[in-house]
Amino acid sequence: MTMTADTPVASESIFRRNLSNFAANRLAMACALIVVLFAVMAVFAPWIAPHDPNETDLFRRLQPPAWIAGGEWSFLLGCDALGRDILSRIIYGARISIFIGLAVIFVATTVGILAGLAAGYLRGWVDILISRLVDILLGFPYLIFAIGLMAMMGPGLWNIILALAYKEWVIPARVVRGETLVTRELEYVEAARALGASRWHIMLREILPNVLSPVIVVATIRMAHVIILEASLSFLGLGVQPPTASWGSMVSDGRAFILEAWWVSTFPGLAILLLVLAINVTSQGLRDAFDPRFSE
């Protein structure tokens, strides 16, 4: 394969063009900014939160938001049934949701990439084994599968990461396998094979860089799905345990007071909605900008 001095420049210009296309999408950029703000809020929670998220005060039990009679501006979004500040718990809850989302996607994407590369390039019994395992896991409803695993392992931060990553890897694995089946037949891969490059060299150095774009887009989309699943498990009491603030458990805590104290469940629910919607729109913008099939 003949490489020219213009190849890096061309690749860089393509990346810059795609980045410019993403920046031109105002809606996607606005949603990306929202995601960044949530991430900053999670990282700097101890400095941003106005109160200790676990500090209880029964004299403030079910205190309404500041703009409703009986509320205080020092407790902007009101308090829950134990008198804990809802705003502070939402800020700290962002840490749990974003950390679990990133951790699950990192583990699942890494395993999925390796499995997809092996299945798509090695073929034979390796492809059959991995493909059948993927088909079996896809046959189980994701949430029910995660509930079953959490029931066996018990609730907890690391257990919920393992439970969600256990099936999440099949999505990037299928994407990478499909892209690898196409890429392995291209000329530069044939040239590397003819020069005596090892299988691992070809998979990791020749094929992998050219299948990363769709994987990144899929990983971004799936992160929103993982956040919803984490909130669902916490809502059912199988996620992060009290007193640690979690958006799903906050929504669950407010079920008994939904008519008299709607703010206990509503505000953490809105936080989930806003973050997931922002991630979805951002990932859509990334897909349109970086996926050649959607580029001009």
What is the average per-residue pLDDT within 74-102?
93
Q: Per the domain annotation, does 14 fall within a domain?
A: no
Query: What is the C-alpha separation between 112 and 109, in angstroms, rounded?
Result: 5
Q: What is the CATH number of the domain that holds 217?
A: 1.10.3720.10
Q: Per the domain annotation, does 19 fall within a domain?
A: no
Q: Quick check: helix, strand or coil at residue 85?
A: strand
- Residue ranges making up the domain that contains 281: 38-294
Of 94, 97, 108, nearest to 215 (Cα)? 108
Query: What is the C-alpha separation between 87 and 45, in angstroms, rounded?
Result: 11
The mean predicted confidence, pLDDT, of the chain is 85
Of 243, 234, 220, nearest to 102 (Cα)? 220
Residue type, 14: I
> What 8-state DSSP symbol labels residue 140?
S
Of 232, 235, 274, 249, nearest to 93 (Cα)? 249
pTM: 0.85
Q: Per the domain annotation, does 1 fall within a domain?
A: no
What proportion of the chain, given as a percentage, has pLDDT over 70?
91
Q: Per the domain annotation, does 32 fall within a domain?
A: no
Tally of structural domains, the chain = 1
Residues in CB range of 180: below 8 A, 6 or more apart: 116, 117, 119, 120, 121, 203, 207, 211
What is the average per-residue pLDDT within 13-20?
65
In this predicted structure, the answer to whether residue 145 has a pLDDT above a threshold of 60 is yes
Q: Per the domain annotation, does 29 fall within a domain?
A: no
Q: Per the domain annotation, does 117 fall within a domain?
A: yes
Q: Per the domain annotation, does 66 fall within a domain?
A: yes
Q: Per the domain annotation, does 30 fall within a domain?
A: no
